[in-house]
Structure 1
Amino acid sequence: MLVEESNIKIANQSLCILADYIGTQSKLNLNDASVCAENFIARLLNIAYGYKLENINLIKQNASVIDLYDKENKISVQVTSSSNLAKSKSCFENFLKYKLYEQYNELYIYILTTKQKSYKIESYIKGNYSFNPKINIIDKTDLLRKFQGLDPLLQKEFLSILNEGLQTNNVQNNQKSSNEVSTLCNVITLLSEKIGTNNLDINCEIDPQRKIPLRFRNKADLIEEQFFNLSLKYQPILDDVLYNSDIDSNMHSKISFYLKDKSSELLFKNDMDAEKSLKELIIFVEKIFNDASLCYDEMAIKFYLIKHLTLCNVFPLTRKELCQI
């Protein structure tokens, strides 16, 4: 493998770890990591973009609009874990409100997690200042593109900062735990954003303990064993996520309806072959993560889906099947 290719893979992995960690902390309403990341991101941006960013809080405590500034190049940056439109729009509007364009020619909004595909903010030009959401709202993907164009010495310096800031000598031990928690958070969030047609009769609920044997027949023992082993590892994590986050009953209900609808669609398509349908459902959820540029833990997703299978939210039984029991 070429050194440059190896550098890009390491940088990508490290930036994904940071994004997953910040995203998980935010979902649990723990925002200290976002604040601590400001100086870290400043150092990375300085190398990737050639800036001389400093933390504005060093000269002005609790600055309300921007976090980083480069006086010489007239660059300003807000660092945030929130990727929603309201947050970015508020930053842009306050930048204009306080006439910061008189001090800085550019405002960048760096999203610590993953930015949206688009932002409904009009491009703006006033004197030397300009703002284009397609250019000025950036995240790890944009940072990685800049990294790819750096010469080997600067890439080495960039990776050194990543290694120091993320303590990647412990990444193999810490990444897995962080990834498991973030996967369970994200799968709940992502699935709750989907809309199912809910064609199934809500009265088709049955005793979960009779579900696996009917759906998987000769493979029931294997599925039950897999679920038991996965539960030993992931159930405590899920319990902690549900207890410490703001996931409400409405989100649970939306997930339930969506999984019933999607899993039934796959089941009918595969002539009631539950084993094949489960594999396709796992692949489908993984694609949701890939489309959103999110890292994920395959086993955490499998656990979550089998758990919903036992709750009758995956491959729910029809009335005809119930009569055959």
Structure 2
Amino acid sequence: MNRSHYFNYIDKKLSWLAWRIESRGKINLLDLNIYSETFFADMLNMLFEYQLKNLNVIKQNVEGIDLVDTENEIISQVSSTCTKQKIESSLKKKIFERYKGFRFKFISISKNADKMRESTFDNPHNALFKPAEDIIDTTTIQNKVLTMTIDKQKEFYEFIKKELGNDIDIVKVDSNLATILNILANEDLSDGIESPEINSFEINKKIEFNNLQTIQDTIDEYKIYYSKLNEKYMEFDKQGANKSLSVFRLIKNQYTRILATGKESHDLFFAIIDSLIDIIVKSKNYIEIPYEELEMCVNILVVDTFVRCKIFKNPEGYSHVITR
């Protein structure tokens, strides 16, 4: 299910960020705290339709407040510390006199804030502040993500991936593809499947034919690795192992099995990816790599298999045999 796919990635990345901020803070490395101000502003804008801006960019060293949204009248502090003392210290700042009538949001970027949401606080400037609603932590964000529409969730997933995902290292991709191909090619194929057709045709026609327009971007993103993957297949096949056929058969096996469950095309596509990831991580030959790298390589494999006409229906009249 795509919701679990998106949510699990978001959850992992936000949890990693919280842990990283806390661990670096213990040795007084606070660079991530500074970068997080703009990141959390953009994230909250996306989640809650705010217009937050980093006040420290507009005016350096603003005491007690990091973000401001003049349109929705919100001011916010982003902090890796989440204690009663810290929140009350913020509420006492004179800057609240300048922002009369603004609602105060306290953003805990590394600590769970459940206890703070149940607390009461001294509020000498009478700022608009309800702890149960206005103290935001990772759990708040996770709960918000869970209630999003699938389209909004995907948009947020892409944002997190851009902000917290790793840059593409083509050398690492090359090595990871080789490792994953080896694992998949050695899987038990006791359920015999006929040798797959070796066909190619216009990709967009097949996308439309299978009602996969919602993942057009995914296919476009990963189809560019066709040549790179083809090189890997050719290298392995020259060794006489015929690994390309083994990989195609395994992926088609997953497609056939999951298709029988009645999933819609969109969900079927991502279920194949999830199934392959599960096979890989459970393999005795698997040497752990970062999840986003594993996910990327499996996306490349599945998109490539789709393009080569090994999975999903082929539009009549558009396929032709190629040799490889």
What is the TM-score normalised by the length of structure 1?
A: 0.47
Larger gyration radius, structure 1 or structure 2? 2
The answer to which structure has the higher helix fraction is 1
Q: What TM-score comes out, normalization by structure 2 length? A: 0.47
